Structure 1
Amino acid sequence: MKKVKICGLRRKEDILIVNRLKPDYVGFVFADSSRKVTKEEAKALSKQLEKEICPVGVFVNEEPEIVAQIANAGIIDLIQLHGEEDEAYIQKLKAFTNKPIIKAVRVRSREQIQKAEALSCDYLLFDTYIKGQYGGSGKPFDVSLIGEVSKPYFIAGGLSESNVAEKLKNCDAFAADVSSAVEIDGYKDEKKVQQFIEAVRKG
């Protein structure tokens, strides 16, 4: 069964929703965004998560020492790098923490995906490329660009309950990642979260 990640949690109400609906992963955004949380906020929210839900920290071009500090504090179990982080950055981060790493790639070409496969991260995440924007665009991309990938990977970018099953049929993704499509007026909506999870797991 495909996995589900609900990204951009920032309120106690969001935690109550995911605890009821049980996605596999949830994301706390530590980068500049309308969904940004502080270390203290994420710690309080993460403590309330059901044990079977894996908390992910999303970072964009952050100092590796700061990422590791948050990871090693027990707030998150998985690190998502959504900026320009390269192999040297990943190696430096791995010297500070043993938490697994997802490297996000804003897809422009098949060659770019092949380069990303060589990185020493544990997972990849393929997202829509929009100049100057690191995720959360709500815009889809052509998943047929992905092709064969040896690492397990997430897909993101404009996914919703109405298109996610089809997108997953057209690639071999390990998981689907959503944020804006499960919100109403910028806040997570329980019905939309439920519909998305059902669409992934039934698809």
Structure 2
Amino acid sequence: MKIKICGLRRACDIEYVNELLPDYIGFIFAEKSRRYVPPAEAAKLKEQLDPRIKAVGVFVDAPMDKIVTVVEQRIIDAVQLHGSEDDGYIRKLQGRTDCPILKAFIVRGVGDVRAAEQSPADYVLLDGGEGSGRPFDWSQIKNITRPYFLAGGLNLDNLQEAIQELGPYAVDVSSGVETGGWKDYAKIKRFMEICSEQQGRRGKQ
């Protein structure tokens, strides 16, 4: 199971993940987000990032040229689309870059799960809302037929249950490893420990 720590924006955040080594980190390029980081600043952070960690750029209904520019500048290793981007947009973007594309789906019902299953994106992410910090009804996704990133309200209190119930391809966390709106080293460390513990238990089953 992969781990993504999203919403990094400080040099100390990079220090935290370089020590703990999640599989992915996320830079938020949506200006309305309180975790927004300008591409120029993200480029500096990426230079400090351990190369074993993949940087994902999170965009919300962004002009395609903007995404392509950030990719070409090697600021990110993967693109996450978190807006209303449709299949046509995804296919066009795939034609302009070989960067893996992760499409986020807000799960409100069965239709959203079906859309995720049929998406041409390289990966899909299932979320409860745009940074709401609350989990959605996980029972809606128990029968999904493709691997997915699980996001939306994951934290130290519900992570174990999420892994045991769903066994996602990856877990994605942001506010769940923060204190006062900023990334908390101890919480990230514990989050990753829980993931490791649960993977060990699943491997023995």
Does the TM-score normalized on the shorter chain lie above 0.5? yes
Question: Deviations along 1:180-200, whole A, 9 cap, x unmatched?
Answer: 111111111100110111111
TM-score by length of 2: 0.93
1:12 equivalent in structure 2: 11
Pick which of 146-155 and 96-105 moved more.
Answer: 146-155
1:115 equivalent in structure 2: 115
How far off is 1:89 after superposition?
0.7
Kept in 2: contact 1:3–1:201 (CA 8 A):
no
Amino acid at match of 2:91: Q
Say which SS state the counterpart of residue 155 (structure 2) adopts.
coil
1:132 equivalent in structure 2: none
Larger helix fraction of residues: 2
Question: Deviations along 1:123-167, whole A, 9 cap, x unmatched?
Answer: 1100003xxxxx221101121211333432101111011211211
1:193 equivalent in structure 2: 188
How far off is 1:110 after superposition?
1.7
1: distance between equivalents of 2:150 and 2:98? 24
2:28 equivalent in structure 1: 29
Kept in 2: contact 1:65–1:93 (CA 8 A):
no
Q: Which runs of 5+ in 1 are unaligned?
A: 130-134
Amino acid at match of 2:146: K
| Pairing of 1:1-203 with structure 2 (within 5 A) | 2-31=1-30, 32-129=32-129, 135-203=130-198
Pick which of 163-172 and 25-34 moved more.
Answer: 163-172
How far off is 1:120 after superposition?
0.8
Q: Which runs of 5+ in 2 are unaligned?
A: 199-205
2: distance between equivalents of 1:24 and 1:95? 25
2: distance between equivalents of 1:179 and 1:106? 16
Cα RMSD between the aligned structures? Answer: 1.1
1: distance between equivalents of 2:21 and 2:63? 31
Amino acid at match of 1:38: P
Pick which of 148-157 and 65-74 moved more.
Answer: 148-157
2: distance between equivalents of 1:45 and 1:136? 22
Kept in 2: contact 1:56–1:76 (CA 8 A):
yes
2: distance between equivalents of 1:185 and 1:98? 37
Amino acid at match of 2:37: V
Say which SS state the counterpart of residue 125 (structure 1) adopts.
strand
1: distance between equivalents of 2:159 and 2:177? 12
Kept in 2: contact 1:144–1:170 (CA 8 A):
no
How far off is 1:3 after superposition?
1.2
Say which SS state the counterpart of residue 52 (structure 1) adopts.
coil
